[in-house]
Structure 1
């Protein structure tokens, strides 16, 4: 159905954060017992996808998430209750014991989790057919776009993906996004695994950190987290 692997994290990531990669098996059926822990709402949502691959991605990551939360909470996977907050961000319905975030693309998904802080994660699959300029104005600031244009053609698309996953992870950590758009979070040029915001930092990002993380060949990924821990 799927396999899951705990990932080593770059230097500087808080030790309370856990990260897993989920690898999908697209020949699986949603009727398999491996998906028995899905809620009725999750199962109905999976069945709404037109493509079987998309349904499997959603269902597999949700089951894997349920199993990890259940293991930490000491309950059965089907007893984990998830709901959405006012910003449509999933969270535990009965507890604030863990924050988590998920992302999936292609054959892989990521799950980030912490009992102490908010987390955000993003993974994207590289495509030679993708025209990064078609969404550059919605994703990059003028300086980033100009910097990418100065790169070799073979490097431009990869640089765009690096910016994209970093910005998505940062925004997903806040839970509210950024009102003005991703183009107001410049992170290029990249000079290390640490994500550095290059201009004036928006208020909602002042206590957020991020690192680019190793991803399977043909993928780009980033993990972000809040420096401020939960008060319980």
Structure 2
């Protein structure tokens, strides 16, 4: 069975979609069940189920409490409002987590330091040229404009995944424009070059690209000064062998 990450470790789990992997909804609270029921498309319901049942099962296992008894908070650590990144409110823990989904990829990152995870599907319908000035900083735009067409699209989504992961780790979200963040190009190891946003960066950050398979770009960010060991695996309701699964 998996063990909780310690300082210097980050676990990235892919959560498979489909009710057969999770065996029911009894671990979700009333608000989560209502939100799940409001999705009109089956694929959206499956993504929500995978993310929210998966995170409860895994964190409940790590923290030694029934998954349904976990409580989460969205208090922003910068301003105190209720729009922040979800964190475990009870029981008390130093573990942090980040959820993401794109296409049929649903992911969960867990670490002992603040963490952010993002996956981007290389969707053909996305007009990357129209979005480039919103996502890319001036130096990145200059680099990106010089790339051949066959690699420019992949590079754009690589930048996007890295920046989303970073902003999830810091908890800033949309409050800090991505165009104020300069990173190394996606063809070299991920690293923060410049943070010029009005809001200060929480501390040193480590950025890592992930292998999310064909058609996807992914990255994880951890707020720490030291290198982080990243592991990737699949997690579902059957991963916790020997523990009861949610009732169907």
Q: For this structure pair, what is the TM-score category when the shorter chain's length is used for normalisation? A: 0.7 to 0.9
Change (3 A) 1:14 1:213: farther
Deviations, residues 25-78 of structure 1 (Å, cap 9, x unaligned): 3xx48xx84222111101111122232211210121110000110100111111
CA distance in 1, matches of 2:69, 2:24: 15
The match for 2:204 among 199, 202, 207 is 207
Q: Does the residue aligned with 2:100 lie in a helix, a strand or coil? A: strand
Q: Which shifted more, 81-90 or 63-72? A: 81-90
**Equivalent pairs, count:** 213
**1:23: Cα distance to partner?**
2.1
Map residues 1-232 of structure 1 onto 2, 5 A cutoff.
15-25=8-18, 28=19, 33-85=23-75, 86=81, 87-97=83-93, 98-114=95-111, 116-177=112-173, 179-193=175-189, 195-199=190-194, 203-204=200-201, 206-227=203-224
Shift of 1:214: 0.9
Question: Aligned in 2, Cα 1:228/1:99: closer, same or farther, shift over 3 Å?
Answer: farther
What's the TM-score, normalizing by structure 1? 0.83
User: What is the distance in 2 between the residues matched to 1:179 and 1:147?
Assistant: 25
The 8 Å contact of residues 42 and 59 in structure 1, kept in 2 or not, is answered as no
Runs of at least 5 residues in structure 1 that lack an aligned partner in the other structure:
1-5, 7-12
| 1:180-219 C-alpha deviation (Å, 9 max, x unpaired) | 40011122423433x2223356631541111011112111
Q: Which has the higher contact order (CA 8 A, sep 6+)?
A: 2
